[in-house]
Structure 1
Amino acid sequence: MATDIVAQLADSLAKAGVEEGELSYKGQGRKLDDAKSVEEIVKEIQDFQGLQALRLEGNTVGVEAAQAIAKALETKSEFKRCYWSDMFTGRLRSEIPPALNSLGDALMMAGARLTVLDLSDNAFGPDGVRGIEKLLKSTACHTLQELRLNNCGMGIGGGKILAASLIQCHKSSSAESTPLSLKVFVAGRNRLENDGAIALAQAFQLMGSLEEVHMPQNGINHPGVTALATAMQHNPNLRILNLNDNTFTDKGGIAMAQALKHLHSIQVINFGDCLVRPAGAIAIAETVSEGLPILKELNLSFCEITEEAAVTVAQAVKNKDQLEKLDLNGNSPPTTTFAITPFSTPPSAPRPPDVSSFLSFPSPDKLLKLGAKRALLIEQQQYFNSAVSFSDGLLKKAFTTPSFQGYSFVSSLLVLLGLIKSEDKVKPVLVVPGHLQALEHVVRQDYFPKESVAVLEAFMSR
C-alpha cells in the first residue's frame, strides 16, 4: 500500500513538472532502436493537439527511431521547444547526424518556430553540429531564444560551423525584418579553443541580443577571450557571463574589464579559475567600482591574484547594494581579505588541485599546479571517474525502473552514512572523502530526484 502511495506521489510530481503543451519522456532510460520501439511515442505525438515541446532527455535514440518520431512531428506547426539533451548514449557517432537531420527536416516541414533547442550532453563532435546546420539556418530558428549545447565535444570545427550557421540565420531572418535575437547561449566543455571562440564572437556581435553566455572549460586563451570581450560590448542586455576555467591572463582580463564598462545590466560574472592575474583583477575592480549597479555575483577565485589585488576587488564591491556573493578563494596568499565586505565569501581552506580540470584540458601550467604528488592525484582521479561512471549507469537505471523504491533507497543511504538509526540495527559504514565526492556528483545529475536531494540536504546540513 505504501509503495502504491509513493508511486502515485512520484507520478503526480512528474506531471506537475510538465509545461503546457509539453510531452515528456524525460529520464525514462528507454532504448529506442527502431520504429517498433517508438510506436507508443509516435501515437502520443500524433494525438497531442497543440504540441509545443518534446522532452527526450535521458533516453537513447537510434536512426530509425528518430525517423519515426520525425514523421510524427511533420504536422506539428505549433512546435517550439526541443529538450533533446543526453539522448544518444551508446550510439555510434555516425548515427547521430542522420538522426538529427531527420528531426530537423521534420520541424522545417511542419513550419515550426523554435524558441528552445537543447542538445547538451550528447558528445556528438563536429559531425553532430553538421546534423543541425540546416535546421539552424532555416526559418524554424529565426525565433530561437535559447541554444544549449553544453558538453557536446564540438571542437574548433564544430564551433566554426555553429558560428557560420548563426550568422546565416541572422542574415536571412533580418531580410524578413525579424532578426534572430538569441538570448541564452550555453556551450561549456566543448574544446572550442581560440579559433572556435573567435568565430562565435563574430556571431554574438552581429546578434547583439544575448542575456546569458555560458562557455566554461573551453581551452580559450587571451586572443579568444579578447574577441569575446569585443563581442560582449555589443550585447547591452547581458545579465550572466560565465567563462570559468579558461585562460585570460592579464591581457584577457584587461580586455574583459573594458567590455564590462558597456554592460550595465550584468548581474553575474564568473571568471573563476581564469588566471586573470593581478593586472586583470585590478582592471575588473576599477570597472566594478565605477559602474555595474546591479551586480550580484563576482567570481575571481583561483586566478593567481595577489593580496593587494584581492583587497582592491573587495573594496570595489563594498558599496554594491545588490551583491550577494564575492568569491576570491584560492588566490595567494589566503588572507582575511574576504572579511572586508559583509557580502564577501568567508575565508576557507585552499581548494585541492583541480585534477579534473587538468584531465579535461591539459596544460603545462595546470600540471605544475598539481604539485609533487601529481602522478598519484591523476591516478586517483581516474579511479574516481571510473567509480562515478559506474554509479551513474547503475543509479540511472534504478531510478527509471518503475518498481524501484526511491524513498527506501534514500533512507538506506542515510542509515549507512550514520545520519539516522536503522530499526534493523544496520551499522553505518566508515565514511571516507571518496564516498562524499561520489554522492556530491550523483545528486547533481538529472536522474537523481530533486525531492531526494532535498531530503539528503536536510539531514547533511545539520
Structure 2
Amino acid sequence: MASEDITKLAESLAKAQVGGGQLSFKGKSLKLNTAEDAKEVSKEIEEFDGLEALRLEGNTVGVEAAKVIAKALEKKAELKRCHWSDMFTGRLRSEIPFALTALGEALITAGSQLVELDLSDNAFGPDGVRGFEALLKSPKGAVAMAETLKTLRQVEVINFGDCLVRSKGAIAIAEAVKEGLPKLKELNLSFCEIKRDAALTIAEATEDKSELEKLDLNGNALGEEGCEQLQEILEGFNMADVLGSLSDDEGEDEEDEDDEGEDEEDEDDEGEDDEEEQQQLQERGQGEQESLPSKKILDSHDSTPVSPPPPVDVATFLAFPSPEKLLRLGPKCSVLIAQQTDTSDMEKVVTALLKISSVFKDETTVKTAVHETTDALMRKAFTSATFNSDAFITSLLIHMGLLKSEEKIKAVPSLYGPLMTLNHMVQQDYFPKSLAPVLLAFVTK
C-alpha cells in the first residue's frame, strides 16, 4: 500500500481519537420518558468530571427526562460536542421543541463552549428549530432562551440533516447563521424539505463565514433553477467549493405553496393524533428504488434504436462491483444498499463495505457516490444496538490483509479503495472513537 495513503489515514485516525472527556450512551436504546427514567443518566453526567462530549444517539428522550438531563448539564461548562442525533424516536413532533428548549437553556446556563452540535435524524420540524434558535444566534451571554450567548461563537459543526426543518425552520437557521457563528465550518441541512427561496436565504447568510468548509443542502426541493441560483450565490462569495452534492434534489413543486401557507399548515398539524405522527416517522427514509428510464437512445448517425444498458440492482452491483454500476443504481444508491444489507450480520457489512470501497476513484461523481453509500451503510451499522464494532474492525483488518486469521481468507487485491474510504469514515460522527487507536496501530505497523 502506498505510504502517502497510510499517512493520510493515520493523520485522520489521530484526529479522530477522543480522550477521557467523552460520556456515551450511544445505541443503548434507552426509553427515557419520566424524570425517574433519566435519573441514572443524569447522575452519570453530574459525576463525570471534565465532560467534553456527550453522546445520546439511538435513544428516545421525553420532555420530563430532557429536563432532568438538562439540569445535570447546567454545570458542564467544558462541554464542546453534543452528539444528539436520532434522540427522539417515536416522539410526537409537538413534544420535541420543549425537550430541545430545556437542553438549550442548560447549555446557555453552563456557558458551554460548543464546537459541534449534531441533531440530525430527529425529524423535529420547524418548531423544533425554535427550541435552539436563540442558542444558535448567541453573540452575548445570558440565562434564558430569549437572550443570546457569546459562548456559542465557537461552534464549528451544525448537523440538522434529515430533521424536516422545512422552509420556515431553514429561514430561522439562516438568521442565526447570519447574526453569529463566526467559526462555522460545516452546516448540514440535507433532506429537510426545504424549498428554493429558503435554501437561497441560507446561502446568502453564509456570505461572511470565512471558515465555512461545507454546506450540505442535498435532498431538498430546489429544482434545477434553484440549484443553479444556489451555486451562483456561492460563486459570488468565492465559496462555490463549499457546496456539497445536490444529486438527490427532489425538484421544485409545479404549484409551489408559499411559506406562510406551509407554516399555517404546520400549526394545524399539531393536533394530529399519535398514530398519524408515528406513521409519518415510519415513512421517513423508506425510499423506493426507482427504475432507470426505459426510453431508447438514438445514435446521431443512425436512426436504429439502441437498447440502453440493463438496470442494475443492489445484488448485481455487490456481485460484480464497478463504478459504472454504482452510479447506475441512481441517486438513491446509498439508501438502497443500506436498506438491503443486514447490519445484524457483521460479515455482510464488512463484505458490502469492501465491495463499495473497491470501486473508489478520484473522479468526483464516483468518489461522492462511494462516500455517501459508505456513510449510509456504516451509520446504520454503528447505531444498531446488536452490531459488534470490535468484531467488525477485526474482520475488516483480516480482509485487508493487515491481521492474520486461523481461517484461510483471501485479502482484497488492492488497498487503495479501502484506505481512501476508511480515511473518509474515521472523520465522520458515526465512527466510534474507541476504534481509532486499534485501527491506527495496525495501519502504521
User: Normalising by structure 1, what TM-score?
Assistant: 0.53
Paired position in structure 1 for 2:246: 243
> By how many angstroms is 1:136 displaced?
0.7
Paired position in structure 1 for 2:171: 160
> By how many angstroms is 1:168 displaced?
2.4
Any conservation in 2 of the 1:32–1:65 contact (CA below 8 Å)? Answer: yes
2: CA distance between counterparts of 1:97 and 1:159?
15
Any conservation in 1 of the 2:101–2:131 contact (CA below 8 Å)? Answer: yes
Moved over 3 A (4+): 16-20, 235-240, 345-350, 352-357, 409-414, 439-444, 448-462
2: CA distance between counterparts of 1:207 and 1:147?
14
Any conservation in 2 of the 1:215–1:244 contact (CA below 8 Å)? Answer: no
Paired position in structure 1 for 2:226: 223
> By how many angstroms is 1:169 displaced?
2.2
Do the aligned partners of residues 117 and 349 (structure 1) sit closer, same or farther apart at CA in structure 2, a change above 3 Å counting?
Answer: closer
Instruction: Give the greater-gyration-radius structure (CA).
Output: 1
1:351 maps to 2:305:
no
Q: Deviations over 1:209-267 (max 9, x none)?
A: 21122222112222354234322553659567332222799xxxxxxxxxxxxxxxxxx
Paired position in structure 2 for 1:213: 215
The residue type equivalent to 1:215 in the other structure is: L
Q: Deviations over 1:259-288 (max 9, x none)?
A: xxxxxxxxxxxxxxxxxxxxxxxxxxxxxx
1: CA distance between counterparts of 2:44 and 2:326?
53
Q: Give 3-state SS (helix, strand or coil) of 2:38's partner.
A: helix
2: CA distance between counterparts of 1:307 and 1:349?
24
Paired position in structure 1 for 2:195: 193
1:24 maps to 2:24:
yes
Any conservation in 1 of the 2:346–2:388 contact (CA below 8 Å)? Answer: no
Q: Deviations over 1:15-49 (max 9, x none)?
A: x9754411111111000111111111111111112
1:64 maps to 2:64:
yes
The residue correspondences of 1:361-372 to structure 2 (distance < 5 A) are none
1:234 maps to 2:237:
yes
The residue type equivalent to 1:213 in the other structure is: L
Do the aligned partners of residues 141 and 233 (structure 1) sit closer, same or farther apart at CA in structure 2, a change above 3 Å counting?
Answer: farther
1: CA distance between counterparts of 2:25 and 2:213?
29
> By how many angstroms is 1:107 displaced?
0.6
2: CA distance between counterparts of 1:233 and 1:413?
43
Any conservation in 1 of the 2:55–2:84 contact (CA below 8 Å)? Answer: yes
The residue type equivalent to 1:242 in the other structure is: S
Q: Name which of 147, 157, 161 aligns with 1:146.
A: 157
2: CA distance between counterparts of 1:410 and 1:45?
32
Q: Give 3-state SS (helix, strand or coil) of 1:82's partner.
A: strand
Any conservation in 1 of the 2:248–2:331 contact (CA below 8 Å)? Answer: no
> By how many angstroms is 1:185 displaced?
1.4
Any conservation in 1 of the 2:26–2:55 contact (CA below 8 Å)? Answer: yes
> By how many angstroms is 1:110 displaced?
0.8
The residue correspondences of 1:294-305 to structure 2 (distance < 5 A) are none
> By how many angstroms is 1:128 displaced?
0.9
User: Normalising by structure 2, what TM-score?
Assistant: 0.55
Identity across the alignment (%): 38
Larger deviation, residues 444-453 vs 19-28 = 444-453
2: CA distance between counterparts of 1:247 and 1:38?
39
Q: Give 3-state SS (helix, strand or coil) of 1:93's partner.
A: coil
> By how many angstroms is 1:157 displaced?
1.2
> By how many angstroms is 1:52 displaced?
1.3
Any conservation in 1 of the 2:191–2:219 contact (CA below 8 Å)? Answer: yes
1:114 maps to 2:114:
yes
User: Structure 1 stretches of 5 or more lacking a match?
Assistant: 1-15, 171-179, 250-301, 309-331, 335-344, 361-380, 396-408, 415-438
Larger deviation, residues 126-135 vs 449-458 = 449-458
Any conservation in 2 of the 1:443–1:453 contact (CA below 8 Å)? Answer: no
Paired position in structure 2 for 1:46: 46
User: Structure 2 stretches of 5 or more lacking a match?
Assistant: 1-15, 139-148, 253-292, 300-306, 310-321, 351-373, 400-408, 413-445
Paired position in structure 1 for 2:266: none
Any conservation in 2 of the 1:152–1:189 contact (CA below 8 Å)? Answer: yes
The residue type equivalent to 2:178 in the other structure is: I
Any conservation in 2 of the 1:198–1:224 contact (CA below 8 Å)? Answer: no
2: CA distance between counterparts of 1:227 and 1:132?
25
Do the aligned partners of residues 63 and 245 (structure 1) sit closer, same or farther apart at CA in structure 2, a change above 3 Å counting?
Answer: same
1: CA distance between counterparts of 2:19 and 2:121?
22
2: CA distance between counterparts of 1:110 and 1:130?
20
1: CA distance between counterparts of 2:111 and 2:376?
40
The CA RMSD over aligned residues, in Å, is 4.1
2: CA distance between counterparts of 1:66 and 1:124?
15
Any conservation in 2 of the 1:60–1:88 contact (CA below 8 Å)? Answer: yes
The residue type equivalent to 1:151 in the other structure is: D
